[in-house]
Structure 1
Amino acid sequence: MTISNKQIISTSNTLLKIMCALVCLVFGSFFSYAQNQPKITADIDTTAIRIGEQIKYTIFVDADSTAQVLFPEDQTFSPLEMVEALEIDTTKYKDRITLQRSYALTQFDSGAYTIPIQRIEINGKAFFTDSLRVNVGTVKVDTFAQKMYDIKPLMEVEKSSSFPWLLVSIIVASLLVVIGLIYWFILRKKPLTDEEKIALLPPYDRAIIELKKLENSKYIIQDEYKEYYSELTTIVRSYLEEDVKISALESTTDQLITKLELLKDAGQLKLDNDTISQFKRVLQTADLVKFAKKKPETSIAEQDRVAIAQIVEKTHEALPEPTEEELLKNEEYLEELARKKEKKKWIIAIATFVGALLIGLGVLIKVYGFKTVKDTALGHPVKELLENDWIQSSYGYPPIQIETPEVLIRQEVNLPPEAKANIKELQLFTYKSNKTLFAVSVSSATFANPQTEPDFNQVAEKILAEFEASGTKNITTKQEEFNTFSSDTKGLKIYGSGKFKMPNSKELVNGEYAIICFGGKGFQQQILVTYLADDEYAQQIADRIFNSIEVKEDKKE
């Protein structure tokens, strides 16, 4: 078969077109891929600062507008410290997005530092920035231009208290004042007034005194006859009602006279007819004065008062002597009245005091909360520990300095034979409450081999095993780095929760624990704290203990 030149040229052209298409496809895909690839850059506004000054570190991300971008968080810039992370600045252009985030960094020691590579996550994939070099210089101090002073001595400060004792003292003083006022105005036996003294007299004596007062009144001089006769008849009617035991105040003149005559006829009241007639005349005169506005002669008004005095006296004489039984009943009645009066005084006094007490408690609860007031009033073992005078002391060697609400007591430790081969010396100090779950212990150990490194995980496993052996259930555990507050010594914090046994009880309660471990070649140190979960006082104690830890990472040679 013979192939012509025309066919060869045609085939060549076809292959060329295919190759061109493939090349375009490959390069086009590569170009598109390159276009979609994110671009990460980092920059700083200066490469040299003085101690304490800040560097502005900025990360730029150019990516697809649909990309999910995660910037660095927290302290990832060590050895430099992050002061502030600014908000992300976003710029969009077509299907691309440019993100910019700045961080304020600083350092308080002089030297040359490297800002480490930072990890940026885009759509779940990690991208990294370049590291950057920064120089931190010291601040020049002119000791000749400024006078130097001695270090000031330590100053004593008053112990702060979480409970408002001043306010409580004010409320207690106020309650004492209320008690004093209650006694003075309610409970105290006050001197009787003249009116009260007269009211305590027998009806006859009281009537005679009131008639005497009426004699010395100015009713007649001022032509006030209505008032004069109204008081005159009230005196005699009240006397008859109390002494003769008849309803005289509500009766009309005729009804009252009829009641007296019936008593006379029954032999219960020995009055003659002239006395009753005279009494009737005085009552009728009084009715005319009060209702008909009649104005009698002054002499007649005087005679009527004298007549009423005689009627009261004759009626008193006409009454039979009370029997022993009547006298006893009258005495019991008076005693009952006295008891009721005294009881009423005490009810008022107690109600006033309780009201003042509730107002005071309401003020405390409003300001400080119900739980604080309740725990202070009824007592709370952990709150009492928190408010104790705390003790700062060093324990063991290498020493651990720590603040605790109670002194930690040295414990005798009997090491098993297999442990003695590895541990040269172990010192243990503990405090354990017998009322609640709170306990704290400090231990310090030196190894027989000075080159032995501590195994914190093994320590934690042993402590957790001891928890389980003592009956603790459902133990959880977590780990994180721990830095001391004062010296920034690094350690390991192992913490978690579980069901712990209460002291002197088989009851299981929700508790928490924390183990702080330190150590180096040839030694190890740890602090263990256990307490009830959701106990805010115990949490405050634990935080204060952890913040007070200061370790000396040296050992015996």
Structure 2
Amino acid sequence: MKRYIYLLVLFCCIPVFAQQKPVQTLINTTKNKIGAEFKLTLKTNVDTVSKVVFPSPKNMGALEVIKTYPTDTILKNGRYELIQKYGLTQFDSGSYTIPSSKIRINNQLYYSDSIQVEVANVAVDTLKQKMYDIKDIATAESQKANGWKYLLAIALLAAIGCLVYWLVKKQQKKKIEHEVYKTPIEKATNLLNTLEQKALWQKGEIKNYYSELTDIARNYIEEAIEIPAMESTTAELIQGLREASQKKKMALTPEIIENLERVLKQADLVKFAKSKPLDFEITEDKNKIQRVIVTLDKALPAVVENQEDNLLNEVQRQKQIALQLQKKRKKRWAIAVASVLFLGLTTLFYFIATLGFTNVKDTLLRHPSKELLEGQWIQSTYGDPGIHIETPKVLKRIDLTKSLPKNGMALVKEMHSFAYGNISDSFYIMVSTYQYKQDSVSVDLKKSMELSIQALESQGAQNMLVKQETYDTPEGISGLKGYGTFSRINTITNSSDKLYYEILLFKQEGGLQQILLFHEEGDAYANQIADRILNSVELKKTNQ
């Protein structure tokens, strides 16, 4: 019975030892200086339908997580290898433990390995190292698109144009209203009705109410009786009205003139002494003004006119009004358009003076390279061994197996290629990594550069100018850089385009890493994009 139990335990243990560990834990170094970055890597190998959730901590033990890199996905033999990297640091020297992390695979928890790391002090010799003052805060160059500023400027100009049009229309509407009234009494009656509709004194605006009420009466007296009522004081107006009534032989009772004088004095008290009449007094004053205007109009001597002449004059007057309306409408549009054009040109000249003509032109015309430069850039790691790079757009996986020679593919164990754009576009970037089947395969960078040039020529590149030089990354990895120009036939315009290209090649871990990009020659924005891309390249340094 004991022998059966031992065999059963042995068979149960065999599958456990045969299984591959679900989570691999790697770190670039276990010793680092204060503030330097430890790169912790967690790898899982799962099938294509599995769901993997990596942790997103702010700290791992005593170490601070300064960066969580995007998850990289690599397809191998029908399975996914998911790679998650973390940037860790510590600003105190000593020995620390990176604790195990929880990784959830298909709702089941797995744990990474804990790792012991050491953080060493940085020795500073003040006798050999020159000391410098702390620099002022530098303003970072904004990479955000400025398109919203121009949209805001356009919307503001449109709003200003509408406001100018509305103000001009309102002002001219007032003038037209004054012109379409046939007689002063008709005008005064309509203005009194409009004043009541405003309900000013009901809203507490008593001063404005009395000001408009007396202005209506003064305007009527000035137009109908022809005395300077608007510029006269109350006493002068009453005296002038008495003299005009005698001259024109107007039958006015003393009560009418006294009522007008009483209301005008009440208005003076409201406007200058801040008097506040009662509600019934305000109503009585309005009625008095209305009776005064009607009485004055009836007392005016009648003017006998020919009926036919009146009809003819009315027709001519209506034609003149229609013509004036048409002219004023055109004038409103002209003023509004001129205002918008003036403000638009002023704004345009301001931006040109501030940003430069080329920058403004390229922004308004939506220059493709400028939009790429000012868009949201992406940092990611591509291939194996990985190339960490910053690009204006995400690079998508492409298949180059059909475009490479068969004898070369026979030596390749794994190949990963990612690109943005098309080989026929004016801007193109490609990142590729190759792992050879035998580690003993010697990678000749110059020969690889020749093959890369030949591949470009096979895609339509002509008259290639090739220059080469060594290229060292900030990590100290040495590679080969090829650059120059080539021409290509534009299939749309059937003309020849000239492009500038750069190729970076590195050999590591028995494999090859390649970065290729090209763009139109003379494109200043594309030059900035290329410099930023190449300056962001990070390669893992290996001991070969």
TM-score normalised according to structure 1 size: 0.49
In structure 1, the residue matched to 2:439 is: 450
Pick from 447, 462, 467: which aligns with 1:473? 462
Q: What residue identity is the alignment partner of 1:492? A: L
Contact 1:517 1:526 in 2 (8 A): yes
In structure 1, the residue matched to 2:224 is: 211
SS at 1:442 equivalent: strand
Q: What residue identity is the alignment partner of 1:431? A: Y
In structure 1, the residue matched to 2:168 is: 186
State the distance in 2 between where 1:328 and 1:472 align: 81
In structure 1, the residue matched to 2:379 is: 392
State the distance in 2 between where 1:434 and 1:341 align: 60
In structure 2, the residue matched to 1:509 is: 497
In structure 2, the residue matched to 1:201 is: 181
Deviation readout 1:284-319 (Å, 9 max, x if unpaired)? xxxxxxxxxxxxxxxxxxxxx99x975x721x2354
Pick from 511, 515, 519: which aligns with 1:527? 515
Deviation at 1:472, TM superposition (A): 2.4
State the distance in 2 between where 1:401 and 1:503 align: 34
State the distance in 1 between where 2:228 and 2:346 align: 54
Q: What residue identity is the alignment partner of 1:510? A: K
Q: What residue identity is the alignment partner of 1:371? A: T
Contact 1:388 1:405 in 2 (8 A): yes
Deviation at 1:531, TM superposition (A): 0.2
Residues 388 and 435 of structure 1: CA distance in aligned 2, closer, same or farther (over 3 Å): farther
Residues 548 and 350 of structure 1: CA distance in aligned 2, closer, same or farther (over 3 Å): same
Q: 1:428-439 maps to which residues of 2 (within 5 A)?
A: 428-432=417-421, 436-439=425-428
In structure 1, the residue matched to 2:348 is: 361
Moved more, 335-344 or 196-205: 196-205
In structure 2, the residue matched to 1:483 is: 472
Deviation at 1:175, TM superposition (A): 3.4
Q: What residue identity is the alignment partner of 1:459? A: S
Q: What residue identity is the alignment partner of 2:406? A: P
Contact 1:515 1:526 in 2 (8 A): yes
Q: What residue identity is the alignment partner of 2:384? A: Y
Q: 1:246-285 maps to which residues of 2 (within 5 A)?
A: none
Aligned residues between the structures: 324
Deviation readout 1:444-479 (Å, 9 max, x if unpaired)? 112233112222233222232233333322210101
Deviation readout 1:169-201 (Å, 9 max, x if unpaired)? 8756753663464144224467637xx644333
**Is 1:498 matched with 2:486?**
yes
Deviation at 1:553, TM superposition (A): 5.1
Q: 1:137-216 maps to which residues of 2 (within 5 A)?
A: 140=123, 160-161=142-143, 171=153, 175=157, 178-179=160-161, 181-188=163-170, 192=174, 197-202=177-182, 210-214=223-227
In structure 1, the residue matched to 2:46 is: none
State the distance in 1 between where 2:143 and 2:365 align: 18
Deviation at 1:539, TM superposition (A): 0.6
Contact 1:161 1:387 in 2 (8 A): yes
**Is 1:345 matched with 2:332?**
yes
Deviation at 1:421, TM superposition (A): 2.7
Q: Which has the higher contact order (CA 8 A, sep 6+)?
A: 2
Q: What residue identity is the alignment partner of 1:547? A: N
State the distance in 1 between where 2:382 and 2:337 align: 55
Pick from 458, 461, 464: which aligns with 2:453? 464
Q: What residue identity is the alignment partner of 2:303? A: E
Residues 480 and 165 of structure 1: CA distance in aligned 2, closer, same or farther (over 3 Å): same
Deviation readout 1:501-526 (Å, 9 max, x if unpaired)? 44766432121000001014621111
In structure 2, the residue matched to 1:418 is: 407
Contact 1:492 1:517 in 2 (8 A): yes
Residues 165 and 410 of structure 1: CA distance in aligned 2, closer, same or farther (over 3 Å): closer
State the distance in 1 between where 2:314 and 2:307 align: 18
State the distance in 2 between where 1:510 and 1:476 align: 11
SS at 2:441 equivalent: coil
Deviation at 1:408, TM superposition (A): 1.1
Q: What residue identity is the alignment partner of 1:175? A: L
SS at 1:531 equivalent: strand
State the distance in 2 between where 1:176 and 1:529 align: 43
State the distance in 1 between where 2:317 and 2:378 align: 72
Residues 459 and 188 of structure 1: CA distance in aligned 2, closer, same or farther (over 3 Å): farther
State the distance in 1 between where 2:359 and 2:527 align: 15
TM-score normalised according to structure 2 size: 0.51
State the distance in 1 between where 2:320 and 2:422 align: 61
**Is 1:370 matched with 2:357?**
yes
Contact 1:435 1:503 in 2 (8 A): no
State the distance in 2 between where 1:468 and 1:141 align: 53
State the distance in 1 between where 2:337 and 2:393 align: 42
Deviation at 1:391, TM superposition (A): 1.1
Contact 2:435 2:511 in 1 (8 A): yes
State the distance in 2 between where 1:462 and 1:379 align: 36
SS at 1:471 equivalent: coil
In structure 1, the residue matched to 2:303 is: 313
Residues 208 and 516 of structure 1: CA distance in aligned 2, closer, same or farther (over 3 Å): closer
Bigger radius of gyration among the two: 1
- State the percentage of identical aligned residues: 31
Contact 2:440 2:510 in 1 (8 A): yes
Contact 1:382 1:436 in 2 (8 A): no
Q: 1:209-248 maps to which residues of 2 (within 5 A)?
A: 210-214=223-227, 221=239
In structure 2, the residue matched to 1:113 is: none
Contact 1:453 1:520 in 2 (8 A): no
Contact 2:464 2:485 in 1 (8 A): yes
Q: Which runs of 5+ in 2 are unaligned?
A: 1-120, 126-138, 188-218, 249-295
Deviation at 1:327, TM superposition (A): 6.8
SS at 2:465 equivalent: coil
In structure 1, the residue matched to 2:71 is: none
Deviation at 1:527, TM superposition (A): 0.4
